């Protein structure tokens, strides 16, 4: 027995697997922000990757109409509506030139995060290794951990344009690896991958019998004429893996939990076998919203890209003013910036919060190879971003000696 806040409690034993999850790195930062707000500072957050603008009207209206349809009031299926898979297949064909069989190669996903987790659960055994980019989206570490596997970090370094060096993976690791996560355009670095790199990935995966899961959350947020490819465009890609697509960023739909997983039919079948044991698919009205997004709001992400490009340019100018050089990304609403000499990721983000009242993400929150960097998310209204830029320029001074 132990005496807790509410009196004596049983010493409970909880599942060990939670202990293998990375700590919730933003909790400490949240506490600091709250403390600062209480002192009257108006904190501006360039931390979270959550679009500030609303979902397109035409999408909301399609969902509103669908809400009243009694068909959708009953259980959906994990395969989703034929019209959903049809819309996805039409989008993948026209946007990327990727031909997918809507009966066997596409499934709805309740957001990219859901798919990233369940694909690990469907593919990894106890003790397997999962190759996970570092810095990277934290789910690439937590998903294998929950599946009982181990994440092996693939360093993304500036000198390799933030592409992993697959040849540098030690043989004994490569031989035990069963899954490889990739994500281009990349969060947090803003890096993009060429078709040639994807071709190398397919060859590597074939040679070593590794499944590839490409997380394509940002293909629609691109700048200056750059158009991101789909991994599935790569010859042979469907033999080795799948791609996960999300409506969250391109269509401002983070709250809707909407995306899909597509590609290798065998893997999709395994995924379809797993899923009804966990959830019962995507609400029909949300499927209708996705269909509307892909058909009636197809060009919407281009407007968002134009907006993010302006914000990017403003912030890149501001960073230069305070003495920080940054590579302009071709895609994603993020800037990945080196912290100045004399700081770590954590001390720098702390400094920016205290001096300018601005939240940025410590690179180390994305993995140990993110140390030495910080990430700016350009997802606040323009007026707030203007204010943030002014505050940064006024209050952060780097000695140039």
Ligand X SMILES: *Cc1c(COP(=O)(O)O)cnc(C)c1O
Q: Is 248 in the site for ligand X (CB under 6 A)?
A: yes
- Return d(Cα 369, Cα 135) in angstroms, integer: 5
Task: Please return the burial class of 243, using the count of CB atoms within 10 Å of its CB with bins 0-12, 13-18 and 19+.
Answer: buried
Q: How far is the CB of 276 from ligand X (least distance, A)?
A: 20
Instruction: Label residues 368-378 b or e (16+ Cβ within 10 Å = b).
Output: ebbbebbbbbb
Spatial contact of 367 and 219, defined as CB atoms under 8 Å apart: no
H or E element in which residue 98 lies: none
Helical ranges in 151-280 per DSSP H: 171-176, 195-208, 237-240, 265-274
Q: How far is the CB of 217 from ligand X (least distance, A)?
A: 4
Q: 6-9, long-range: CB within 8 Å, 24+ apart, which pairs?
A: none
Q: Is 231 in the site for ligand X (CB under 6 A)?
A: no
Q: Is 259 in the site for ligand X (CB under 6 A)?
A: yes
Q: Is 187 in the site for ligand X (CB under 6 A)?
A: yes
Q: Which is nearer to ligand X, 89 or 216 (CB)?
A: 216
Tell me which residues in 27-86 interact with ligand X (CB under 6 A): 49
Q: Which is nearer to ligand X, 255 or 323 (CB)?
A: 255
Q: Which is nearer to ligand X, 51 or 357 (CB)?
A: 51
Q: How far is the CB of 108 from ligand X (least distance, A)?
A: 12
Mention every residue, 6+ apart, whose C-beta is less than 8 A from residue 176. Answer: 127, 128, 129
Q: Is 113 in the site for ligand X (CB under 6 A)?
A: yes
Stretch that binds ligand X, among 77-85, 105-113, 189-197, 262-270 (CB under 6 A): 105-113
Two structure tokens written together for 21: 């999850």
Q: How far is the CB of 23 from ligand X (least distance, A)?
A: 19
Q: Which is nearer to ligand X, 308 or 318 (CB)?
A: 308
Q: How far is the CB of 362 from ligand X (least distance, A)?
A: 16
Q: Which is nearer to ligand X, 123 or 392 (CB)?
A: 123
- Return d(Cα 259, Cα 280) in angstroms, integer: 15
Stretch that binds ligand X, among 39-47, 51-59, 63-71, 108-116 (CB under 6 A): 108-116
Q: How far apart are the first and last CA of the chain?
A: 60
Tell me which residues in 264-303 interact with ligand X (CB under 6 A): none
Residues near ligand X (CB under 6 A): 49, 111-113, 137, 183, 187, 215, 217, 246, 248-249, 254, 259
């Amino acid at each position: 027995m132990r005496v807790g806040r509410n009196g004596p409690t049983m010493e409970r034993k909880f599942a060990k697997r939670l202990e293998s999850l990375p700590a919730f790195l933003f909790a400490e930062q949240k506490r600091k922000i709250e403390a600062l707000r209480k002192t009257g500072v108006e904190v501006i957050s360039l931390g979270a990757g959550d679009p500030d603008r609303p979902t397109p009207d035409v999408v909301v209206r399609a969902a509103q109409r669908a809400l009243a349809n009694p068909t959708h009031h009953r259980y959906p299926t994990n395969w989703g509506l034929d019209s959903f898979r049809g819309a996805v297949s039409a989008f993948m064909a026209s946007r990327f030139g990727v031909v997918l069989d809507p009966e066997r190669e596409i499934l709805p996903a309740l957001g990219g995060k859901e798919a990233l987790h369940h694909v690990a659960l469907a593919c990894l055994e106890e003790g397997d290794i999962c190759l996970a980019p570092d810095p990277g989206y934290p789910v690439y570490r937590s998903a294998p951990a929950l599946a009982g596997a181990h994440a092996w970090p693939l360093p993304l370094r500036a000198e390799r344009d933030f592409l992993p060096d697959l040849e540098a993976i030690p043989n004994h690791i490569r031989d035990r690896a069963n899954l490889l996560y990739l994500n281009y355009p990349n969060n947090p670095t803003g890096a993009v991958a060429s078709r040639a790199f994807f071709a190398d990935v397919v060859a590597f995966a074939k040679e070593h019998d590794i499944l590839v899961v490409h997380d394509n959350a940002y293909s629609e947020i691109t700048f200056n004429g750059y158009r991101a490819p789909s991994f599935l465009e790569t010859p042979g890609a469907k033999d080795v893996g799948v791609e996960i697509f999300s409506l969250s960023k391109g269509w401002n739909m983070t709250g809707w939990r909407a995306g899909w997983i597509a590609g290798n039919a065998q893997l999709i079948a395994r995924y379809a076998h797993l899923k009804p044991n966990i959830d019962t698919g995507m609400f029909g009205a949300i499927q209708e919203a996705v269909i509307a997004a892909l058909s009636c709001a197809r060009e919407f992400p281009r407007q968002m890209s134009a907006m993010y490009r302006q914000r990017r340019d403003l912030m890149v100018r501001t960073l230069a003013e305070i003495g920080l050089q940054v590579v302009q990304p071709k895609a994603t609403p993020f800037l990945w910036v080196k912290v100045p000499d004399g700081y770590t990721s954590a001390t720098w983000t702390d400094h920016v919060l205290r001096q300018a009242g601005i939240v940025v993400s410590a690179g180390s929150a994305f993995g140990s190879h993110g140390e030495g960097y910080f990430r700016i998310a350009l997802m606040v209204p323009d007026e707030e971003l203007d204010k943030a830029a002014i505050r940064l320029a006024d209050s952060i001074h780097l000695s140039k000696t």
